[in-house]
Structure formats: C-alpha cells, structure tokens
Amino acid sequence: MPSDFFVSYLHAGLAGSDRSGSPLAAQRAAVARYVRGRGRLAGEVVETGADRRDSEQPGLREALTLCRLRGATLLMAELGAFSEDPAFLRHLSAELRRLDLRFAAADSPEASELTLGIMAALAEAEDRLGVSRTPETMARRHEFYARVTAEWRAQPPAGKGGTPASTSTSMPAAGTARPAAAADHGSLAAPAQRSRERAEQVAPILSEIRAAGALTLEQVANALNALGVPSARGNRWYPMQVTRVEKRLAAGREAHVVEHALHA
C-alpha cells in the first residue's frame, strides 16, 4: 500500500516540453518520476487560464479541495517557474496553511508548505535589501529549505493535521516586546529612522522564518545567514541583532496603536 497520496497541479501555459512537444506531457512525466516510490497519484488538476499568474487561480482551488477530500499532498511539477512570482507563492502558502495541507514540487524537492512563505518574502525583498541570486546564495537557500522540510517531516504529530503546536505561537518577540526607553516622542533622528526602515524591510522574512518553526534568536539569525539576507551593516546576523530588530518592530506597532487610538 502506498504511504502517501498526491494531487498534481499542472499549468497548461508553462513553457518547456518533452519529446512529445507538450508542456503538459513534460509536467506529467516529472510528476510520475516524483511519485514513483513515494506513493500514488490520487488526482490531477490543470490550470488552463491564459494568464498563469491570474490571482483567481480556479484550478488551484479545485486542486486544494481535492487534496482535502483525499488526504493528499499538493504536487507541482514546476515550482521554479513561479520562483519570482511572490504573489502566487504567498497565496499558495496562505491557502496551504489555512487548510492544513502539505506541499511538494517535483523540480524542487527541498520545497514544502513551510518554505513557500519564505520564498515569497525573499522574492519581494531582494531588490530592497540588495540581495543577489548568486549560485552560492541559491545553494545555501536550497540546503536551508531542505533541512527545514526534513526536520519538520521528522516531527511527530502534535495537533490537528499533524501540525506542531509551536507554529501558531512562534512569534513571541515581534508583538509583545516593550518599546525601548530611548524611543523619542517626536520625529526620529536619521540613524534611528534608517534602523526602523531596515527593520520593516526584513519584517516579512522574520515572520515567515518564525512561522516555519524557528523559536530561538539563534535559529532566526542562522536562517537569515543561510538565506543570504545581509544585516544592516552588511555582515552576518547574530542573536542580539535579531532582538534589536524585533524590538524596533514591536515599538513601531505599539506607536501605531497609540496614534490610532488618539485619532479614533
């Protein structure tokens, strides 16, 4: 008996083909190779829209529904075609989390439902943070994604759908820390303003790293380094730097709440 079931999610508009000249045939062949020895294909859905980046993605809704009905993992043949489409990656990540479903990609075996949000956040922030997609950087990222996915898969079930209980409670620093005593009550000085802006730039990446299971400051710092995200000074991240950034973000949130209350 196969240990896992998969629902393949294919895209008719993707470039590439196999010997038959059909993009869909190439994707089906990739899916078959991936599923072999891992389980059984429980269904297939083809996204036929002219624009593969259409936010509606009716085929995706159908595929996710089929995954829930059959207890299957959503399997894409070519995730790489969407690696620079953060809107799609973020939407897919959010839907998988909402429905508590697993994800796999035939062309990116290191990817999982845990890594999609990080991929989206990085794609959105690369220009702002000055991150280059060098072969070395991408190799480190793939290794990091593979490690996160493997460690997650190895964990015993600890909640509904086998989701570790830490996932929903793994953001202690971002929303609960008190603002630093030195925060002024008027306009911020230029260095402080730049620090706040930098913190806001990396905030989505921090959030996704936390959501992927990083609980300690050291784990977050190691993840940022593995992903090639530079610190404010262009150096490596250390736990203390993560603490400072998360405190700045918390202070900013509290200041926003106070300002909103005053003008309500």
Read out DSSP for 212-245?
TT--SHHHHHHHHHHTT---TTSS---HHHHHHH
Do 134 and 248 lie in one domain? The reply is: no
Close Cβ partners of 81 (under 8 Å, ≥ 6 residues apart): 11, 14, 15, 52
Do 251 and 198 lie in one domain? The reply is: yes
Do 145 and 76 lie in one domain? The reply is: yes
Q: Domain span at residue 190?
A: 170-262
pLDDT in tens, the chain (264 residues): 345 999 999 999 786 655 556 889 999 999 999 999 999 999 999 998 655 455 568 999 999 999 999 999 999 999 999 988 999 999 999 999 999 999 999 999 999 999 999 999 999 998 888 777 889 999 999 999 999 999 888 876 554 444 443 333 333 333 333 333 344 444 545 767 777 888 899 999 999 999 998 999 999 999 999 999 988 887 899 999 999 999 999 887 765 555 555 666
Domain count along the chain: 2
d(CA 167, CA 12): 35
Structure pTM? 0.79
Find where tokens 């072999």 sit. Answer: 36
Q: What is the identity of the amino acid at 68?
A: R
